Amino acid sequence: MEVRLAEHAGFCFGVKRAVDTVYEQIKIGKNIYTYGPIVHNEEVVKELADKGVKVLASKEELMSLPGGRDFRADPCDAPCPETKVIIRAHGVSEEIYRILEEKGLECVDATCPFVRRIQKKAAEESDKGKHIVIVGDPGHPEVEGIVGRCKGPVTVLESLQEAEEAVFLDKEELCIVAQTTFNYNKFHDIVEILGKRGYNGNVVNTICNATEERQRSARALALEADVMIVIGSRHSSNTTKLYEICSEVCAHTYFIQTLDDLHLALPKAVRLVGITAGASTPNKLIEEVQNYVRINF
């Protein structure tokens, strides 16, 4: 039986950069917080927590940070020396930067440059008066961060049905962008539906290469494999999408977060087990699963 890893799997450039940033800051040794978990992977977050990195779960938690103070009430040129807040790869809204500045907290910005590019594009086109359409998950922090850059009208569409039902003003110019981790085919379907309904605009495919590559190579492997294992967090949107894509073409697709979730009873006829992993899954975990399947089956 062959065990094969998808050509592109695991940490993407932006996530690796963000995680490396946290480890660099640990070496400097300040009181470190990340605004939200640095990646959607519990294992990575737990490892960082063991090294003293704390996660801020909300804006309210950021506002009540120990050591933080109201900059307006207590103006001071220097940032609070004890505390650093790291912004994760998928970015935050302008409001969070404002709060950090007002509180005089030091900010280390690990927003992925590709996410920053969408934020910039959305802000520029919104300033020109366009209606910004973001194809993505409205509850995802990356999308919230992009919405926060738009001064004018902005609509988030996640499903084909929402694209069928969305209503825009007649003469309104649209600028359509996508969440970096959105399913490539679904993005095109949504754009096509809008076009058929007479809503055309400036379409900017902002889906990240890393996502496309992972989706394409996962599908290619799943087409050949008898069994597919998708590794990653259930909270990771790109891992969930990999699972959807693999399930469509491989009936025996398993979604696991760690090796503990892997309870395979493989029939003898299995020739090829394919493995893929989301952009927030560390290499260490992928190797563990690969080795386990190789040795035990």
Q: Which is nearer to ligand SF4, 122 or 279 (CB)?
A: 279
The answer to whether 13 contacts ligand SF4 (rule: CB under 6 A) is yes
Q: How far apart are CA 165 and CA 157, in angstroms?
A: 10
Q: Which is nearer to ligand SF4, 83 or 215 (CB)?
A: 215
> Using the rule CB under 6 A, which residue among 6, 89, 143, 228 binds ligand SF4?
89
> Using the rule CB under 6 A, which residue among 53, 62, 221, 279 binds ligand SF4?
279
Binding residues for ligand SF4, total number by CB under 6 A: 14
- β-bridge partners, 131: 174
Q: Which residue has the tokens 């490892």?
A: 47
268 residue type, one letter = K
In the residue annotation, 101 being an active-site residue is answered as: no
The alpha carbon of 39 is separated from its chain's Cα centroid by a whole number of angstroms, namely 8
The answer to whether 112 contacts ligand SF4 (rule: CB under 6 A) is yes
The answer to whether 12 contacts ligand SF4 (rule: CB under 6 A) is yes
> Nearest distance from residue 271's CB to ligand SF4, in Å?
32
Site for ligand SF4, residues 164 to 193, rule: CB under 6 A: 180-181
The residues, ordered by sequence, that sit 6+ positions from 284 with a Cβ below 8 Å of its Cβ are none
- The Cα angle at residue 200 between residues 161 and 144, in degrees rounded to 5: 60
> Nearest distance from residue 23's CB to ligand SF4, in Å?
17
The answer to whether 208 contacts ligand SF4 (rule: CB under 6 A) is yes
Q: Which is nearer to ligand SF4, 35 or 114 (CB)?
A: 114
**Active-site choice (142, 144, 212, 248):** 142
Interface with ligand SF4 by CB under 6 A: which residues? 12-15, 89, 112, 114-115, 180-181, 208, 210-211, 279
Catalytic residue set: 142
